[in-house]
Chains A and B, each alone.
Chain A
Amino acid sequence: MMTRLNRLLGNEEKAQISETQVDRSDIEKLAELARIEISESTVDEVAKSITDVLALVDQLQAADTDGIAPMAHPLDATQRLRVDRVSEDNRRDDFQKLAPAAEQGLYLVPKVIE
């Protein structure tokens, strides 16, 4: 994987990284965190493709980033703030037309247990 990227970029020296392996149990954990059902028959396939992607991103480990501040936004801008004035009308009917299940103005979901 890395060698392919390196070749594409003419970058032949090999990075010293141990490849991250993702197994079935990792995928099950991630699928639970992300609330996505992954069918039993495809778990191994998904694990393999995610291992491949992680091998690509593991290239980052070779970069020297000592003292570099993380950059969350491309521009060094700061946040504008909004005046505290009501600007939104009640549009419940427009929005609830889109709801898979609603009743008495409420969105319905299977019983919430705390």
Chain B
Amino acid sequence: MHNLTIAELIKGLRNKDFTSVELTRHYLDRIKRLDANYNSFVTVTEDIALAQAKAADERLAQGDAPALCGVPIAHKDIFCTDGVRTSCGSKMLDNFVPPYDATVVENYRKAGAVMLGKVNMDEFAMGSSNETSFYGPVKNPWDTNCVPGGSSGGSAAAVAAQLAPGATATDTGGSIRQPASLCGLTGLKPTYGRVSRWGMIAFASSLDQAGPMTRTAEDAAIMLNAMASFDDKDSTCVDEPLCDYTASLNDSLQGLRIGVPKEYFSEGLQPETAERVQAAIKEFEKMGAEIKEISLPHTSLAVPAYYVIAPAECSANLSRFDGVRYGHRCENPKDLNDLYKRSRGEAFGEEVKRRILVGAYALSAGYYDAYYRKAQQVRRLIKQDFVDAFNDVDVIMGPTATAPAFAFGSKGDDPVAMYLEDIYTIATNLAGLPGLSIPCGLVDSKPVGLQLISNFFDEAKLLNAAHQFQQVTDHHQQTAPALD
């Protein structure tokens, strides 16, 4: 059953090939047997999963089942779940059990999905390797000596190891697409504002966006259908008409205009990865698409701009973790300042502290204009690059990451080396555009990803192109070596 895609599971459940309880037990059993190898789950919600599966089976029997009825999924531990510990990968929230659901969680519950549990992540979604989690690193199912990418490393590993057919994830600078690339999955970051951020613990509010992590583009479309909604609890959520993202999956790509930015094929891209990506773009040409080279001239400024904006926003977003109303509190604080400084000093990891301090620096008196304001100006230039490009092309394609998964500890303790992991993904977050990563081959027996970027709210185009690619190639059917 774990080889089936979500689309196939939906059919199987409706055909009564298996029940949701059987399916859920199967996945729970796999998690129990296998996850020690990957460390992808932080919390397994067996009782909730079985109760939801039982209820789903009843609805399936009655014939009024919603889209994802009975399909088990995993939630990134950044989404608040009513009554279930939501840690955000941090010691700070190790004891935090929210009394409310994130809108994304609520949407999936309404769509009938079964929650298997909460998956691991970089602490507060800050990282590109899943090495910063309080719950230990997640291992890449393709090579357990390697990282799964981050920050949605738990989501990626769980789906790649077939411990869940799909998972929710979030992407602030590449945190869905880069782990999807490193784990051989389809990962979609929708347009900023397409999916509600309510109940999703904020890292950088103007960049964060939730999306699905699946094995196929079709599954991503099914999951996005349930995930996307207009939510008046999130002021930045956009009231754009929703569509059925599966409806246009089979549209022809004849005449599709694909732009390939020359800046994405620079010296830093590993040659073998570049080859796989180029070969994939050729496949689109075979399907009738037109390929043209384009330029996104401000690409080199995306990472610097991001490492001002994201830390600045996070430095304020994480101030609420102060040991007063919830979360970690130090023992016997001697005064108020001691309470703050020790609670935060003890419970935040190194990377989180670093970003908070960088953000405080960029916003502090005398530096605001040189850093924060400048970064916001550059952000507009970066967005304008894309706006100009989309006058001539429908989809932009290039690599997702510079290379396949790297070994644990290989970036040393140099934060900047890790930051450069997101060099091709960060610009879309700054611009707010949707981006998708799909597997496009193996390098050293490890997957690499092709990134597709479309115009605002044109997720359907991305999913259509990706689905068509997956009809003529089998990269997405390659699976990580089984450990059972």
Contacts and interface: CB of A to CB of B under 8 A. Distances in A.
Interface of A: 1, 4-11, 22, 26-27, 30-31, 33-39, 46, 49-50, 52-61, 63, 65, 68-75, 77, 79-80, 82, 91, 94-95, 97-101, 107, 109-113
Contacts of B307: 53, 56-57
Contacts of B432: 73-75
B323 interface: yes
Contacts of B379: 70-71
A97 to B, nearest CB: 8
Interface in B226-269: 232, 235-236, 238-239, 263, 266-268
Given A35-B322, A38-B345, 18 more contacts: A34-B357, A34-B360, A36-B344, A49-B413, A50-B354, A50-B358, A56-B307, A59-B301, A60-B371, A60-B378, A63-B377, A63-B378, A68-B381, A70-B380, A74-B433, A75-B456, A80-B232, A109-B339
B341 A8 contact: no
Interface stretch (B139-147, B215-223, B415-423): B415-423
Interface string B364-405: 100000110111111111010000000000000000001000
A57 B267 contact: no
Contacts of A22: 361
Nearest to A29: B364
Interface stretch (B103-111, B173-181, B327-335): B327-335
B383 A11 contact: no
B300 interface: yes
15 contacts: A8-B267, A8-B268, A10-B268, A11-B266, A11-B300, A33-B364, A34-B356, A36-B353, A38-B345, A46-B353, A56-B307, A60-B375, A74-B383, A77-B238, A95-B326
A110 B325 contact: no
B38 interface: no
Contacts of B323: 100
Contacts of B378: 60, 63, 65, 68
Contacts of B267: 7-10
Nearest to A62: B301
Contacts of B371: 57, 60
Contacts of B381: 63, 65, 68
B304 interface: yes
B5 interface: no
Interface residues of B, number: 84
A37 B362 contact: no
Contacts of A107: 324-325
B443 interface: no
Given A8-B267, A75-B193, A53 B298 contact: no
Contacts of B402: 8
Contacts of A8: 266-268, 402, 420, 423
B63 interface: no
A46 B354 contact: yes
Contacts of A91: 99
A30 B360 CA distance: 7
Contact of A36 (B356, B416, B419): B356
B268 to A, nearest CB: 3
B315 interface: yes
B265 to A, nearest CB: 8
A57 B323 CA distance: 31
A53 B420 CA distance: 11
A72 B427 CA distance: 14
A38 B300 CA distance: 32
B357 A95 contact: no
A70 B338 CA distance: 37
B303 A54 contact: no
A50 B375 contact: no
B14 interface: no
Contact of B326 (A26, A34, A82, A99): A99
Contacts of A71: 376-377, 379-380, 383
A-B pairs, top 8 by smallest CB distance, nearest first, are A74-B432, A8-B268, A37-B345, A10-B266, A70-B376, A100-B329, A65-B377, A35-B340
